[in-house]
A and B are shown apart, each in its own frame.
Chain A
Amino acid sequence: QQPVQSPQAVILREGEDAVINCSSSKALYSVHWYRQKHGEAPVFLMILLKGGEQKGHEKISASFNEKKQQSSLYLTASQLSYSGTYFCGTIKYIFGTGTRLKVLA
């Protein structure tokens, strides 16, 4: 069963922040995050390996709560280049339902 992401879609203005949540009904041993730009393949952002871990990638960071089987991706001061669909993924490379993010100028 694939993880559920929320929101399904979000529209931002440049410079605004967003949070994307990923929740699993099964145990999450780790969480991957990927971004897929329109018409392209998904590209890896980061992996969180243990509960409580937080990571950063430019102005994109994430946290992982292993007990709650949840992860969140934080995008701060969003840029036009952040537009795309974001997926969380499990250790078995099963991906979440996706969140479409659009950043407007």
Chain B
Amino acid sequence: DTAVSQTPKYLVTQMGNDKSIKCEQNLGHDTMYWYKQDSKKFLKIMFSYNNKELIINETVPNRFSPKSPDKAHLNLHINSLELGDSAVYFCASSQGFFRNTEAFFGQGTRLTVV
């Protein structure tokens, strides 16, 4: 039973398209995150949501819009995809924010923009 699951695992799309990545966690956590990992392996935080409320919004283009319909889900919608958006995107969750609990990661979504 997967704790944090993302769909799809792979996504290949053309420049200019709009795509979404879904994330669901069944751990009962109240905080969820999106990270972008580029080819250099940097794990850059994009957004954090606590109880469906946005608490961290790093310098991310407006083309990226997170949506949290409930505490168990955090989806990422990307408009007008660009070549530089190609990366692996990880969703994660933890119990509480600023509370020193373990973060659990999804398996990642490899996005390739051609």
Contact = CB atoms under 8 A, between A and B. Distances in A.
Interface of A: 2, 30, 32, 34, 36, 40-44, 47, 49, 85, 87, 89, 91-95, 97-98, 100
Contacts, number: 53
Interface in B79-114: 90, 92, 94, 97-100, 102-108
Contact of B106 (A2, A41, A85, A87): A41
A98 to B, nearest CB: 5
Interface residues of B, number: 23
Contact of B43 (A40, A47, A98): A98
Given A93-B48, A93-B92, A44 B43 contact: no
A35 B100 CA distance: 17
Contacts of B104: 44
Nearest to A39: B108
Contacts of B92: 93
Contacts of B107: 40-41
